[in-house]
Amino acid sequence: MIPLFHDFSGSTVLVFGGGRVGARKARRFAREARTVVVSPDFGDREFGGAERVRAVPGPMAVPGWFDRADPALAVAATDDGPVNDAIARAAHEHGVLLNRADRSTGDDPAESDADSDRDGNDGNERAREIVVPATVRDDPVTLAVATGGRSPALSRHLRERFEEEFAGAGAMAELSGQLRTELRERGVAPSERRAAIRAVVRSERVWKALGDSGPSGWTEAQSVIEDVLSGER
């Protein structure tokens, strides 16, 4: 399995199922895409701004939802095997990416622990099936971890460790991007520019400043950069 990132901006994600798993999937994809959730019931759950359509998506009705929504990705998150099989078939026929939460080979803690070898699709129908890894987001940084479905518990643990260990990664990404631009505009040579930015992202002083209320990360980063450019490091 090769990890890839996919940009769903401007696309539609169609989620079947309004239970715990469907809600979790909807919250994740609604950050970026128009997300439509089809379910007869939604309960008291948060769907992250996704559009909710109250309907019973029986196997015969599933293809019609693909025609109406024209999704880039379909998520089968119902507790009805035949419905999930119908969603998989419709995704294959429409050339749409598929994520089946009832046949988890991914590491999203919200995914089912159901047997990953259920019948229902042949190899061709699974050709565009994707998995959703456990992720940590601190925009613009995203970290993802997967264990091939062998240990969702380990993925959850690693995700929690990443959240703690890399707190402030988003701010560091923004800061280092701004510094690269500034150094380029100053005419600093590429090799020196790379060395300076590398020193900034490795500096505990800068990481601490980004997370504290003390000296700003920018001030600390500028100090680190001047040390590098003056040859002190």
Is residue 118's pLDDT more than 60?
no
- For 34-54, what is each residue's pLDDT tens digit? 999 999 999 999 999 999 999
pLDDT classification of 214: cutoffs 50, 70, 90: low
Specify if 151 maps to a domain: no
pLDDT the model gives residue 233 = 46
Is residue 3's pLDDT more than 60?
yes
User: What is the domain range of residue 54?
Assistant: 12-133
Same domain as 110, residue 213: no
Q: What is the pTM of this model?
A: 0.77
Arithmetic mean of pLDDT, 129-154 = 88
Strands 141-145, 134-138: pairing kind: antiparallel
Angstrom distance (rounded) from CA 155 to CA 165: 15
User: How many domains is the chain partitioned into structurally?
Assistant: 2
- Written as one string, the DSSP assignment of 70-109 is --SEEEE--S-HHHHHHHHHHHHHHT-EEEETTS--S--T
Q: And the tokens for 197?
A: 């930015």
pLDDT the model gives residue 109 = 52
Same domain as 213, residue 121: no
Arithmetic mean of pLDDT, 94-99 = 95
Is residue 193's pLDDT more than 70?
yes
Same domain as 18, residue 64: yes
pLDDT the model gives residue 131 = 84
Is residue 117's pLDDT more than 60?
no
| CATH label of the domain that carries residue 43 | 3.40.50.720
Same domain as 32, residue 110: yes
Specify if 107 maps to a domain: yes
Same domain as 173, residue 119: no
Same domain as 120, residue 21: yes
Specify if 32 maps to a domain: yes
Instruction: Name the percent of the chain in helix, strand, coil, to the closest 5.
Output: 45, 15, 40
Same domain as 175, residue 84: no
Specify if 159 maps to a domain: no
Is residue 62's pLDDT more than 70?
yes
Specify if 82 maps to a domain: yes
Specify if 35 maps to a domain: yes
Same domain as 203, residue 120: no
Lowest pLDDT segment from 82-86, 126-130, 201-205 = 126-130
Is residue 119's pLDDT more than 50?
no
pLDDT the model gives residue 150 = 84
pLDDT the model gives residue 215 = 63
Arithmetic mean of pLDDT, 90-105 = 87
Domain finish residue from 115, 133, 151: 133
Instruction: Answer for the pair 110, 118: CB distance below 8 angstroms, yes or no.
Output: no
Specify if 154 maps to a domain: no
Same domain as 115, residue 19: yes
Whole-number percent of the chain with pLDDT over 70 = 88
> Rounded to the nearest 5 degrees, what angle is found at the Cα of 195, between the Cα atoms of 232 and 143?
130
pLDDT the model gives residue 45 = 95
Angstrom distance (rounded) from CA 36 to CA 87: 14
Q: And the tokens for 214?
A: 């003390």
Is residue 127's pLDDT more than 80?
no
Same domain as 20, residue 105: yes
Is residue 202's pLDDT more than 50?
yes
Is residue 217's pLDDT more than 80?
yes
Specify if 189 maps to a domain: yes
Q: Tell me the average pLDDT of the chain.
A: 88
